[in-house]
Structure 1
């Protein structure tokens, strides 16, 4: 006779606990039947996502103080690092503000450009693949 179990789906604790089946033998043991194949499951290898650099470009109109502000507010650099990056942008024509997975890098570059336009500055940031 089959016993029916009613469960209240609003209260998971009232759900019956179903037994799980464990392997009956180790993978290293010989197959029990002709043609049986062992499959060893391993943890999946998780590849690191490709990284992208958010590159900021120098221009003749954006104040250095604004660049430092953006580096601190959007990229969480401390004042010393922000000034160093800003000077690199100023002297080299460009500098890396941060390195992130593509979607985060795109979001940060877009936010920098929007903030600069809102304040009336032509500061430009773009992303490019970063080889580590």
Structure 2
């Protein structure tokens, strides 16, 4: 049995006005003396879906400046990306450091 709703209100009245936007986080790669440049490019292509040129540019930024931004994501996605990078790096024997930072 369906209930009838009064037409005295709008559906928008049911929605709270104080909905907050999710916080976003930068996923960062850090340079080290052991992880190969080719591996960093591979990580950027496989995990962050960067094309070869963009992956190479980010890798060079990591190499020359010590740190580079892979992308900006909501917290859960950023945490997943960090986990996947660490898992892939460890499986290949690299100490690649990946962190996140609130935007």
Q: TM-score, normalised by structure 1?
A: 0.69
2:6 counterpart residue number: 22
1:98 counterpart residue number: 71
CA distance in 1, matches of 2:13, 2:90: 53
One of 7, 10, 13 as aligned partner of 1:41? 13
Answer 1 or 2: which has greater helix percent: 2
For each residue in 1:6-62, what CA deviation from the matched residue of structure 2 results, as whole angstroms up to 9, or x when unmatched? xxxxxxxxxx5x251323x58xxxxxxxxxxxxx92643432200011110001111
Higher relative contact order (CA 8 A, sep 6+): 2
Larger radius of gyration: 1
1:83 counterpart residue number: 56
CA distance in 2, matches of 1:21, 1:111: 48
CA distance in 1, matches of 2:6, 2:62: 60
- How large is the Cα RMSD of the aligned pairs? 2.1
Which 4+ residue blocks in structure 1 deviate beyond 4 angstroms?
Answer: none
Answer 1 or 2: which has greater strand percent: 2
Q: Which runs of 5+ in 1 are unaligned?
A: 1-15, 27-39
Q: How does 1:38-77 map to 2 (within 5 A)?
A: 41=13, 43-45=15-17, 46-77=19-50
